[in-house]
Chains A and B, each alone.
Chain A
Amino acid sequence: AQTVTQSQPEMSVQEAETVTLSCTYDTSESDYYLFWYKQPPSRQMILVIRQEAYKQQNATENRFSVNFQKAAKSFSLKISDSQLGDAAMYFCAYRGMEYGNKLVFGAGTILRVKS
């Protein structure tokens, strides 16, 4: 079974600075997808960024980028120029290619942004 590990329960960053959230995963599949979701307090979970395992190029979405290391099974999220609105719980998630291909979530990292 696939597992996703987020080893940082909480992180803090100063406004306008850069922060990196860590994620590792375990799988025996060669094709899969990885995601970062953001969940602000009492608000909807939204997709931040998505990475296909067969692509070597790291995904980027504006201030959000990932460092995908397939051999190391590592998938970190970098947030540049942090803003107060980035404060949220961030979940790393894995989705494989098996039937049902359910999302497997990590435990989450609470990101606090200080002004």
Chain B
Amino acid sequence: DAMVIQNPRYQVTQFGKPVTLSCSQTLNHNVMYWYQQKSSQAPKLLFHYYDKDFNNEADTPDNFQSRRPNTSFCFLDIRSPGLGDAAMYLCATSGTRGYGYTFGSGTRLTVV
């Protein structure tokens, strides 16, 4: 089945230690998104790629960066995680306009 896969499902990292979350898709969608979601809140868009065109949200901290080496993969890098960065990180993809996003299962990040 075509899908969006996020690895790992759970990630524990130390305060200040760089961490990378990964997302892959088999849908061949040209747009990929990264969201941060804290408990019982709506997802907050961090950035998205339209093909290789990177789009950062104005309030996304500099601590968060992303890479998209090809259509299928996208990575979220957190350079120096703080306690406030503990959250669920959701990857989503989008193809044709008018359709909703397809979400991955998310990576729950814990910072210790």
Contact = CB atoms under 8 A, between A and B. Distances in A.
B98 A33 contact: yes
Determine the main DSSP class of A at the interface with B: strand
A101 to B, nearest CB: 6
B21 interface: no
A100 B32 CA distance: 11
Given A44-B104, A45-B90, A100-B55, A50 B99 contact: yes
B101 interface: yes
Contact of B100 (A37, A89, A100): A37
Interface in B40-86: 40-43, 45, 48, 50, 55
Contact of B45 (A45, A46, A102): A102
Interface residues of B, number: 21
Contacts, number: 49
Interface in A45-87: 45-47, 50, 52
A52 B102 CA distance: 18
Given A46-B103, A52-B98, A91-B42, 7 more contacts: A33-B100, A45-B103, A50-B100, A101-B97, A102-B33, A108-B40, A108-B41
Contacts of B101: 47, 103
Contacts of A105: 42-43
A3 to B, nearest CB: 12
B105 A107 contact: no
Interface residues of A, number: 25
B48 A43 contact: no
Contacts of A52: 98
A93 B103 CA distance: 14
Contacts of B105: 43-44
Nearest to B97: A101
Contacts of B108: 42
Contacts of B90: 45
Contacts of A47: 100-102
B70 to A, nearest CB: 21
A25 interface: no
A41 B98 CA distance: 27
